[in-house]
Amino acid sequence: MRVTTKGQVTIPRRVREALGISPETEIDFVEDKGRFYIVKTDEPNATGRFKKLRDIATVTMSTDEIMNLTRES
């Protein structure tokens, strides 16, 4: 299997079917003693500096209301 310049590979159909992976399925890569495994996960993979902020929002404003606040001068 060849890795693209973007670091992508195609998961073979038999592997996708065995793992129950379909489009939009969340997966993760788990390392164990130098080997990596593909595992399905129920939770989207939040990475980086915003990971600790995930699921803590309490705003009851609509998207339009929030956008109006950002546009006010």
pLDDT digits (tens, 9 = 90+) for 36-65: 998 888 766 555 566 666 777 777 888 888
- The CA–CA distances, whole Å, from 24 to 11, 20, 41 equal 14, 11, 11
Q: Is residue 8 included in any domain, yes or no?
A: no
- Residue 57 falls inside a structural domain: yes
Contacts of 63 (CB under 8 A, 6+ apart): none
Q: What CA–CA distance (Å, rounded) separates 45 from 25?
A: 11
What's the number of domains the chain is made of?
Answer: 1
Structure confidence at residue 14 as a pLDDT band (50, 70, 90): very high
What residue numbers bound the domain in which 24 lies?
Answer: 13-71
Given a cut of 70, whether residue 33 has pLDDT beyond it is: yes
pTM over 0.85: no
